[in-house]
Amino acid sequence: MSVSQGSSSEVVYSIVIPVYNEEQVLPELYKQLSPVLDSLDGEAEVVFVDDGSTDQSASFLRGLACRDDRVRTIRFSRNFGHQAAITAGLDAARGQAVVVMDADLQDPPELIPELARKWREGYEVVYAQRRSRRGESYFKRFSASIYYRLMVHLTKVEIPVDAGDFRLIGGSALVALRSMREKHRYVRGMVSWVGFRQTGVPYTRKERFAGETKYTLGRMLRFAADGITSFSWVPLRIAVHIGLIASALSLGMVLWVLYEALIARRTVPGWASTVVIILFLGGVQLFSIGMLGEYIGRVYDEVRNRPLYIIDDSDGADDD
């Protein structure tokens, strides 16, 4: 199977794979992915997005792009992050349907034909939904399950629970997604946000084939905050709600203070209550200002309007 020069418009499926220091998994990934590409009911290409890897991933991918003309690679000038890499792949993909999957084989390539089948049935978005997660720490599973359920309550967007970025996006949904250029990207939420007909296919998330997770705790927390701030105002309103409650309580306090001062005339004690009130309100105020800051910082990033990623070079098909 080969994409002849100049006829790349025939590509039906584009598999987008973000890669960050995955030299240990890439050969096995290619081995498993290659037969799946052949089995699809249309021309397929793979777009590897090298997110500033510092190991041998780049040279392996360059070699692959030379040997196999279904393979294209894009290399970033530095590490821009998983979501930026997915975005670059979506932008570069030439297929009518794009499948986004991780490089580490946690997302099994065998599922791709099933995603494609649903797309042929007429769904614009087919997400792979984790039935169970093997080989991930108890903490990760626990925090993920709390987080996805929290998202459901905080946002009006119906983001499917337990679905990552492994999904097929085609047709109008793909066009819509490409038009969204926001800087703090929570791609899985954005895909849900565009609407159209969406459906899920269950799968078992496997262990990482080799290497270590690239999502440290800090990165995970930042990603989680992006998800909430991109789709919800609720945190901003928390300050309003606490403020209202505090005001209502303080009204009661005022009556009590007046009674103590004017009628009972015993105003000196009260150190404990004063200190508690100051500490509590101080905490609430700092928390609220911090919350505001989270949003203002993101507004600042949007306003600066820097590109989402910078490409160093690309290989494969007719390089562009």
Interface positions with ligand UDP (CB under 6 A): 18-20, 22, 51, 79, 81-82, 85, 102-104, 106, 208, 213-215
The vertex-1 CA angle with 5 and 319, nearest 5°, equals 30
Nearer to Mg ion, 25 or 126 (CB): 25
**Residue range at the interface with Mg ion (CB under 5 A); choices 99-107, 141-149, 197-205, 248-256:** 99-107
What b/e sequence results for 36-69 when a residue is b if at least 16 CB atoms lie within 10 Å of its CB, and e otherwise? bbeebeebbbbbbbbbbbeeebbebbbebbeebb
Tally of CA atoms within 13 A in the half-sphere of 183 that contains its CB? 12
Nearer to Mg ion, 93 or 101 (CB): 101
List the single partner that 273 binds among ligand UDP, Mg ion, none, CB under 5 to 8 Å by kind: none
User: Which amino acid makes up residue 169?
Assistant: I
Nearer to ligand UDP, 85 or 98 (CB): 85
Nearer to ligand UDP, 34 or 79 (CB): 79
Do residues 110 and 128 lie in contact, with contact meaning Cβ atoms separated by under 8 Å?
no
What does the alpha-carbon distance between residue 161 and residue 138 come to, in Å, rounded to a whole number? 17
What does the alpha-carbon distance between residue 128 and residue 165 come to, in Å, rounded to a whole number? 8
What does the alpha-carbon distance between residue 150 and residue 187 come to, in Å, rounded to a whole number? 17
List the single partner that 183 binds among ligand UDP, Mg ion, none, CB under 5 to 8 Å by kind: none
Q: How far is the CB of 208 from Mg ion (least distance, A)?
A: 5
Q: How far is the CB of 171 from ligand UDP (least distance, A)?
A: 25
Q: How far is the CB of 27 from ligand UDP (least distance, A)?
A: 14
* 45, 104, 124, 165: residue in contact with Mg ion (rule CB under 5 A): 104
What does the alpha-carbon distance between residue 106 and residue 205 come to, in Å, rounded to a whole number? 6
What does the alpha-carbon distance between residue 220 and residue 135 come to, in Å, rounded to a whole number? 18
**Residue range at the interface with Mg ion (CB under 5 A); choices 70-78, 97-105, 110-118, 178-186:** 97-105
What is the pattern of x (binds Mg ion, CB under 5 A) and - over residues 105-134?
-x----------------------------
Binding site for Mg ion (CB under 5 A): 102, 104, 106
